[in-house]
Amino acid sequence: MVVDLHAHYPMHLIPPSEASVVRLIVSRRERTRWRDRMRALLTEAGSRLWNYPSPAAGPAVTVPLMRAGRVGAVLSVLYVPLDEMDLSCAYGSPPNPDYFPRLLRQLELVEAHVGAAHGDAVRIARTPTELEAARDQGRLALVHCVEGGFHLGATPGEVEGNVARLAERGVAYIGLAHLFWRGVATNVAALPFLPDWVYHLLFPQPARGLTVLGEAALRAMVRHGILVDVTHMSARSFDDALELMDELDPQRRVPAIASHMACRFGHLEYNLTDDQIERLARRDGAMGVILCDHFVKEGLRHRRTRTFEESLEAICRHVDRIREITGSHRHAAIGSDLDGYIKPTLAGLDDMSAMAALREGLRRRYGDDADAICQGNALRVLRAGWAAGA
């Protein structure tokens, strides 16, 4: 079985809308559903061009593809891209309170879709116990997670309350930083088509890490049993997050994770340094190796991967580097980021059906340790930190 720490299942879901013109006029709820549907259709159109393996192929993260790839559990990313790239406000504007209700509606859309279309094969797991029960039943477990602290609210009070609500809905982790500065946590450059220096020229950020909103979110996450995902964080945000976690949890009972990462063999700031990897290991965290060709090959090879075997070798270089730094295979995992605008993916790993081949390749390389890499390490951090405050 494979546990994927980061995949964008909701990206292809479209809210239904069969309302008449009259109902759209008289019903605020129907107007909200119609706007959500239009935004989802815009996201789908963009995904056809820049996200999915090809316009004709469609999404890489679907239930049939996950079943074919023997995926046992997936951390299903809740993310509203049109809110992060909100064109109604200036770049760097703080979060809008309207973002959080849209995030909740996306969560509810996922649950409604799974219940209606895949109820016998899939279970929404809201606690580690429910995740284990799904595995015992042979069902695919979907676990909610959130990417982007901009979703959480415009004031510390809103953020604290909304984090508590997400914990009640079973969210396992939140990544506070993402693609653009929105007043929560500074981020690294993570657009594969832009060199780091060009990104920072176009999208400048203040010389700081976590803001008041970011600190409020992290405190609430530790309090309510939601794991902290440090992916996309700038070096200052990373330091602030780990130092605040040490203050709140000096015994380091709660792990921190990097849900979709690569090791820094070259110069891309998205990829984690040796020191960052070591610090995550000291919190007994897990690091999910991403399947994005741009980040994985950097510093290892000049050309894109062309075969599955080349991709497997590149992934193993990152797994080996984590072991060299931490001393064991206790901290490496899989965090594909499929359907997360990582095109092109590593060759032969275009969709979830390839996870079975990836697992077999890792078993040939690492033997029984492959079980820890494919599932055990991810499950360990979930048991330790998810819902720990409940």
Residue 34's pLDDT is what? Answer: 67
pLDDT digits (tens, 9 = 90+) for 277-336: 999 999 999 999 999 999 999 999 999 999 999 999 999 999 999 999 999 999 999 999
* Residue 30 pLDDT class (50, 70, 90 cuts): low
Average pLDDT over residues 145-152: 98
pLDDT digits (tens, 9 = 90+) for 321-348: 999 999 999 999 999 999 999 999 999 9
Please give the share of the chain, as a percent, with pLDDT higher than 70. Answer: 95
Average pLDDT over residues 55-75: 95
**Residue 367 Rama label (left phi>0; alpha psi -120 to 50; beta):** left
Instruction: From 323, 310, 306, select the one nearest 370 (Cα to Cα).
Output: 323
The answer to which of 43-52, 61-70, 116-125, 306-315 has the lowest mean pLDDT is 43-52
Q: 146 by DSSP, 3-state: which? A: strand
Q: 387 by DSSP, 3-state: which? A: coil
Q: Across the chain, which distance is largest between two alpha carbons, in Å? A: 65
Find out if CATH 3.40.50.720 is the number for domain 2-385.
no
pLDDT digits (tens, 9 = 90+) for 221-277: 999 999 999 999 999 999 999 999 999 999 999 999 999 999 999 999 999 999 999
Average pLDDT over residues 138-166: 98
Contact, 15 vs 36, CB < 8 A? yes
* CA separation for the pair 257, 305 (Å, rounded): 27
What average pLDDT does the structure give for the chain?
94
* Residue 390 pLDDT class (50, 70, 90 cuts): very low
pLDDT digits (tens, 9 = 90+) for 75-134: 999 999 999 999 999 999 999 999 999 999 999 999 999 999 998 999 999 999 999 999
* CA separation for the pair 336, 138 (Å, rounded): 22
**293-297 long-range Cβ contacts below 8 angstroms, 24+ apart:** 293/344, 293/345, 293/346, 293/347, 294/192, 294/268, 294/342, 294/344, 295/192, 295/262, 295/268, 295/270, 295/271, 295/342, 296/262, 296/346
Domain parsing of the chain, residue ranges: 2-385
Helix runs in 87-141, H state only: 99-118, 128-136
Residue 285's pLDDT is what? Answer: 98
pLDDT digits (tens, 9 = 90+) for 8-24: 999 999 988 766 555 55
> Does residue 27 register a pLDDT over 70?
no
